[in-house]
Amino acid sequence: MSRLASFLALASCLSFVSSTTVAEIQGPAWQSPLAGQTVNNVTGVVTAKSSSGFYIAGEKSDDVRVSSGLLVYSTSSSVLSKVAVGDAISLSGRVSEFRSSSQPNYLFLTELTLPSNIMILSSNNTVTPVVLGKDRFPPTREFSALDVGAEGFLSAPNNSSRIEAANATLQPDKYGMDFWESLEGQLVTIPKATSLAFPNSYGEFWVHGDWPVTGKNKRGGLTITFGPDGIPDGNPEAILVGAPLDGTKNPMVVLGTGLGDITGVVTFLFGFYYVLPLTAPVVTSIPSSDIPATTLTSDLNDVCTITFGDYNVENLMPTSSHLPTIASHIVNYLRTPDILFIQEIQDNSGATSDGTVSANVTLATLVVSIAQLSNVVYNFTEIDPVDGQDGGQPGGNIRTAYLYRPEKLKLVPGSPVGGSLDNTEVKGFLGRPKLSHNPGRVDPNNTAWDASRKPLAAAWQNKFGVQFFTVNVHLSSKGGSSSVQGDARPPVNSPIEARTNQVSTVATFVKSLLFKDPLAKIIVSGDFNEYIQTRSVYKPLTSILTDIDEAAKVPEVERYSYVYDQNSQQLDHALISWGLRLRKVEFEHVHVNTWSPSLAARVSDHDPSVGRIRIC
């Protein structure tokens, strides 16, 4: 050892020279071991700049839990103008764990604040990004070790622990959030990205890159599925692409848009992990604009075979600009099924709180619009809610309704139409159940249905008097749920208690039908606002009915009717009784909205579906 080198070694031991590495700041856990401390002589190469700071890459760490990237936070133009991308610098600052005090469910971001003593050591250095799918692989099944329970991230109780309070050491080989956290502040490349959804209102969008994924559907999205261990898989391998750091604009994307490589820095913002690209990603392929119509067509001469459609038409009122498109979807894509389960029919005055509850004009307008395109003249039936009691857009009084083709089906006669607060009971003889009201609402006074749509039950018959029963449901929406990548684990699934109770009241009704006739033909269909993977919610129904996707053997990854965050997911379901499952069952999801060529062209946030069953 030369004299100079030994002097420096000695000096550093004696802390004449104090230096801290980026890796030491990041550490192997969620929060920095140095949080709150002032650190000096931190060295790194500037990888990216934004209006609120710059990112540096320190020496690479051998520990995969430890990020070698760091955000240096500053909005001062004199600080920002000092450094350029490619500069090797040293600086001092204060290690801080930041999250907005108004967003307690966000994760902390490790930052170096109050940067000072910035020294440029050299310029024009290059930093090699971590290539995801080559150097590192995102876990594909679970978000967090804290998502305990048989249903993983969908388990109840939700919010039973918090990531930052636990502050465990990261397990980036196992859990998606740990993986992204272990790259916080680092420069990465997402090779050959695929968009997983429409962009949000800020032009940000979810992608996966050229790495192993689970749940891949034919369109290019990632569907929520069950893992091989039976634990729901919410696709933690996906990442949000934020606004480009150079001020360019992200391209328009849809589900399945192909993009080139995206290089940027990993960060946590607005409740999610992001890659902030250095510049706007480039579109390399656009999915086909051809959306297949259902193959399950109605045959008026085949009285034993019934086609049914299900469609949440998103706040439909008589003057809705999307009404003609909904009608054309029903005609051209659903091919005018014999019966339609519709959700979100608003009253005749739409979202105006004027005491109107009747929706006969809304429904008649839809029927006329369908007739103009097809010569099919549907009849409709529904029950008005009590004004303002069923949730949804204020004043809209959304409800479920049926459209049906009177030449094929009619409501079983002999029971009055139920009123808003009448409970539909199962009467009749053994082997021949009869509804007290037809149609009628199911248990409308049950508190489970407070501020929610009451289910609409009906009994139908074909021209030979063969009967079947339907329940059209629209459960409480997921509003108020927390980010899948938030602090609360498992994430808050709101209001899961309400949906569980709602399913339970529907199951009680279905049981009373099956008690009278174990082979009763029953379809429960609609917008459940819940994934089938949240088994605890569905249990009362799945113990007596079968998910039609299962019965019809729809491939698991193709079961989706909605795209939210990174996931193709199924909120809309049909469940059928044994009396129907005995016979041939077919089912198809029709992706008129999730495959829309643009967000603006979409007319509902839900896709419809079509089933074909035999009642005799």
Ligand X SMILES: *[C@@H]1O[C@H](CO)[C@@H](O)[C@H](O)[C@H]1NC(C)=O
Q: How far is the CB of 555 from ligand X (least distance, A)?
A: 31
Taking the C-alpha atoms of residue 496 and residue 480, their distance in angstroms, rounded to an integer, is: 11
End-to-end CA distance of the chain: 93
Which residue's CB is nearer to ligand X, number 41 or number 328? 41
Inter-axis angle of helices 496-516 and 535-542, nearest 10: 10
Among 9, 10, 17, 582, binds ligand X (CB under 6 A): 17
Check residue 450 for interaction with ligand X (CB under 6 A).
no
Smaller CB separation from ligand X, 119 or 519: 119
- Residue 396 CA to residue 377 CA, distance in Å, equals 25
Q: Distance of CA 155 to CAs 147, 149, 151, 222, 268, Å?
A: 7, 5, 4, 20, 24
Phi-psi region of 508 (alpha: psi -120 to 50; beta: other; left: phi over 0): alpha
Residue 174 — left, alpha, or beta (φ > 0 → left; ψ -120 to 50 → alpha)? Answer: alpha
Q: How far is the CB of 479 from ligand X (least distance, A)?
A: 13
Q: Report residue 446 as tokens.
A: 């049950």
CB of residue 409 to ligand X, shortest distance in Å: 8
Provide, rounded to whole angstroms, the least separation between the CB of residue 111 and ligand X. Answer: 15
Nearest-approach distance from CB 575 to ligand X, in angstroms: 22
CA-closest candidate to residue 575, choices 608, 549, 537: 549
Stretch that binds ligand X, among 155-163, 235-243, 286-294, 432-440 (CB under 6 A): 155-163
Residue 482 touches ligand X, criterion: CB under 6 A: yes
Q: Tell me the sheet residues that pair with 268.
A: 273
Please identify, among the stretches 249-257, 291-299, 416-424, 467-475, the one whose residues bind ligand X according to the rule CB under 6 A: 416-424
C-alpha 238 chain-centroid distance: 12
Q: Cβ closer to ligand X: 155 or 568?
A: 155
496 binds ligand X (CB under 6 A): yes
Residue 358 binds ligand X (CB under 6 A): yes
Region binding ligand X by CB under 6 A among candidate stretches 17-25, 218-226, 434-442, 591-599: 17-25
Shortest Å distance, C-beta 549 to ligand X: 26
Nearer to ligand X, 200 or 445 (CB): 445
Site for ligand X in 79-108 (CB under 6 A): 92, 104-105
Q: Find the binder of ligand X among 18, 76, 103, 288 (CB under 6 A).
A: 18
Question: Cβ(329)–Cβ(368) under 8 Å?
Answer: no
If binding is defined by CB under 6 A, does position 360 make contact with ligand X?
yes
x-or-dash string of contact with ligand X, 311-350, rule CB under 6 A:
----------------------------------------
Task: Yes or no: say if 79 and 119 are a contact pair by the CB < 8 Å rule.
Answer: no
Total chain residues near ligand X (CB under 6 A): 36
- Dihedral (CA of 7, 11, 13, 17) sign: negative
Name the residue nearer to ligand X (CB basis): 300 or 582: 300
The answer to the question of residue 123 lying near ligand X (CB under 6 A) is yes
Q: Secondary structure of 246-265 in the HEC alphabet?
A: CCCCCCCCCCCCEECCEEEE
Decide if residue 371 touches ligand X (CB under 6 A): no
* Residue 157 touches ligand X, criterion: CB under 6 A: yes
Toward ligand X, which CB reaches closer, 214 or 365?
A: 365
CA distance 421 to 454: 10
| Member of 114, 166, 252, 361 binding ligand X (CB under 6 A) | 361
Q: Largest Cα–Cα distance in the chain?
A: 106
Considering only residues 22 to 41 of the shown chain, the ones binding ligand X according to CB under 6 A are: 27, 29, 31, 33, 40-41
Per CB under 6 A, the segment of 290-298, 349-357, 358-366, 540-548 that binds ligand X is 358-366
Out of 315, 379, 389, 542, the only residue in the binding site for ligand X (CB under 6 A) is: 379
Could you tell me the two tokens for 4? Answer: 């100079």
- Residue 311 neighbours by CB under 8 Å, 6+ apart: 326, 329, 330, 334, 340, 341, 342, 343, 604, 606, 608, 609
Stretch that binds ligand X, among 254-262, 328-336, 488-496, 586-594 (CB under 6 A): 488-496
Q: Which is nearer to ligand X, 59 or 135 (CB)?
A: 59
Q: Quick one: 64 or 492, whose CB is closer to ligand X?
A: 492
421: left (phi over 0), alpha (psi -120 to 50) or beta: alpha
DSSP line for 334-352: S---SEEEEEEE--TT-S-
Nearest to 412 by CA among 468, 453, 344, 480: 468
* Whether 118 contacts 82, CB under 8 Å: yes
Residue 446 binds ligand X, judged by CB under 6 A: no
User: Which of the ranges 224-232, 300-308, 419-427, 463-471 carries the binding residues for ligand X, by CB under 6 A?
Assistant: 419-427
**Closer Cβ to ligand X, 332 or 360, answer by number:** 360
Q: In Å, what is the CA distance from 337 to each residue of 123, 340, 449, 483? A: 68, 7, 29, 37
| Region from 154-162, 187-195, 592-600, 605-613 binding ligand X, contact rule CB under 6 A | 154-162
Question: Which residues, in sequence order, are CB contacts of 612 under 8 Å at separation 6+?
Answer: 296, 305, 306, 307, 308, 584, 585, 586, 587
Residues that bind ligand X (CB under 6 A): 17-19, 27, 29, 31, 33, 40-41, 92, 104-105, 123-124, 156-159, 167, 358, 360-361, 364, 379, 381, 406, 410, 421-423, 445, 482, 488, 492, 496-497
